[in-house]
Amino acid sequence: PISLSKWEFQHEDTELLAKKLGEGAFGEVRVGRLTTKDPKKKLVEVAVKMLKSSADSVTRDQVEELLHETRIMRKLDHPNVLRSYGVAVLREPLYLMIELCSNGALREYLKENHKTITLADKINFVLGSARGVAYLHSQRILHRDLAVRNILLTEDKTPKVSDFGLAELTDRYEMKEHCKIPVRYLAPETLELFIFTPKTDVFSFGCVIWEIYENGQQPHDGKNAQTIRAQVKKREFLKLSSSAPEALRRLVAEKVFVADPENRCSMTSIVQCVETAEKTVK
C-alpha cells in the first residue's frame, strides 16, 4: 500500500456523479462524493476539478499551476474562502477536490437572477467576499485575480473567494514581462510598474463591488486593453451605481479607486465600511 499525506487521495476515494458543474481552462468540473480521511470515513459532496488529459497529455505547466493552486488553498481556513480537500494525482486525469458551491460563479448568478436579487443579497455578497480577501491578506496572500467570475456561491448563497491560479504567498509581487494579466481590473501601478501588493487587490476588489451592483457586467465592457490603459493613465476610474449604499460609494470613490496606493484603504477598512452599511440596507 502507498502512503498518502492528509491532502492526497486515490481516485477511488472520489465517486464522480453525473452532474457537470462547468468547464474551465483545466477541464471539467463535476460533482463528486469524497470519502474523507476521518476515522468514520465520512462522505462529503465536493466539486471535482479534473485536469483534462488530452491526447497529447497534460503539460507540465498545467500540472504546476494546479499544484500551485492547491498548495495555497491548503493554508486557508475561512468561511468566505473556497476550501480544498486535497488532490488525486496518482493517475490522469488529475483531480482537485474542492468545496461544492451549488449556486455556481457569482458572475453568472448575478446575470441570471438580476430581476430577483435584493440589495440585501448584494451587500452580503460584497461583505462576505471582502471578509474572504481580508483574511487572505492577513495570511500574507495576494490573490491577483479578483473578479466576480472568481467568486463562487454556496447553496445558501455564501460567497467564497476562489481561483488561486495567480495567487502568491507574499505581500509584494513583481510581474515578469509578457504574463497574462486581467487588465480591466488592475490598479494604475500594476499597469504602469508591474507590481502587485495588497493595495492592488483592493483596487481590483473595487471592481468586484462595481460588478455586483452592475449585475455581473464586466468593467470597461467592449473596450480593448489599449483603451483601458489610456483611461487609467488619465486617472479615469469606474463609478459605483447609485443603487449602492452612499457610504460605500464614497469609500470606493475616495479610498479605493485612487491612483496613489498610499491613499488607498485596506481590505479591513472595506469590511468595516460594509458592515456599517449593511445595517442600513436591511
Q: Does 163 bind ligand ATP (CB under 6 A)?
A: yes
Residue of 38, 56, 121, 145 marked active site: 145
Interface segment toward ligand ATP; rule CB under 6 A; list 21-29, 73-81, 191-199, 274-282: 21-29
- Which residues inside 99-158 make contact with ligand ATP, applying CB under 6 A? 99-101, 104-105, 152
Q: How far is the CB of 16 from ligand ATP (least distance, A)?
A: 14
Q: Does 98 bind ligand ATP (CB under 6 A)?
A: yes
Q: Does 183 bind ligand ATP (CB under 6 A)?
A: no
Cross-sheet strand order for the sheet of 28-35: 14-23, 28-35, 43-50, 95-99, 84-88
Residues 50/28, Cβ–Cβ less than 8 Å: yes
Q: How many residues make contact with ligand ATP (CB under 6 A)?
A: 18
Nearer to ligand ATP, 99 or 201 (CB): 99
Nearer to ligand ATP, 105 or 228 (CB): 105
Nearer to ligand ATP, 2 or 179 (CB): 179
Interface segment toward ligand ATP; rule CB under 6 A; list 22-30, 83-91, 125-133, 228-236: 22-30
Q: Does 49 bind ligand ATP (CB under 6 A)?
A: yes
Interface segment toward ligand ATP; rule CB under 6 A; list 98-106, 188-196, 222-230, 261-269: 98-106
Active site residues: 145
Point out which residues bind ligand ATP (CB under 6 A).
21-26, 29, 47, 49, 98-101, 104-105, 152, 163, 165
